Amino acid sequence: MNAHATALIADDEPLLRDALRRQLGIVWPELEIVAEARNGRDAVRLFDERHPDICFLDVHMPGLSGVDAANQIGRAINTEQLLQQLSEQLAKLQSGGGKSEALRWIRA
How many residues comprise the chain? 108
Examine residue 13 and state whether it is found in any structural domain, yes or no. Answer: yes
pLDDT, greater one: 44 or 95: 44
Cβ distance 47 to 73 under 8 Å? Answer: yes
Q: Which of 1-5, 17-21, 24-28, 98-102 has the lowest mean pLDDT?
A: 98-102
Q: Is residue 54 part of a domain?
A: yes
For residues 56 and 14, state if they share a domain: yes
Q: How far is residue 93's CA from residue 73's CA, in Å, rounded to a whole number? A: 30
Q: Is 38 exposed, middle or buried (0-12, 13-18, 19+ CB in 10 A)?
A: middle
Is residue 106 domain-shared with residue 65, that is, in the same domain? no
The answer on 93 and 46 residing in a single domain is: no
Between 4 and 94, where is the model more confident? 4
| Residues in contact with 22: Cβ distance below 8 Å, sequence separation at least 6, in sequence order | none
Instruction: Please indicate, yes or no, whether residues 72 and 102 belong to a single structural domain of this protein.
Output: no
Phi, psi of 7 (to 5 degrees): -145, 155
* Mean of pLDDT values over 20-30: 92
Residues 90 and 107 in one domain: yes
In a domain, 53, yes or no: yes
Taking the CA atoms of residue 13, residue 19, residue 24 and residue 29 in that order, the dihedral angle to the nearest 10 degrees is 120
Number of domains in the chain: 2
28 within a domain of the structure (yes/no): yes
Query: Is position 1 within any domain?
Result: no
Say which CATH number the domain at 24 has. Answer: 3.40.50.2300
Range of the domain at 102: 78-108
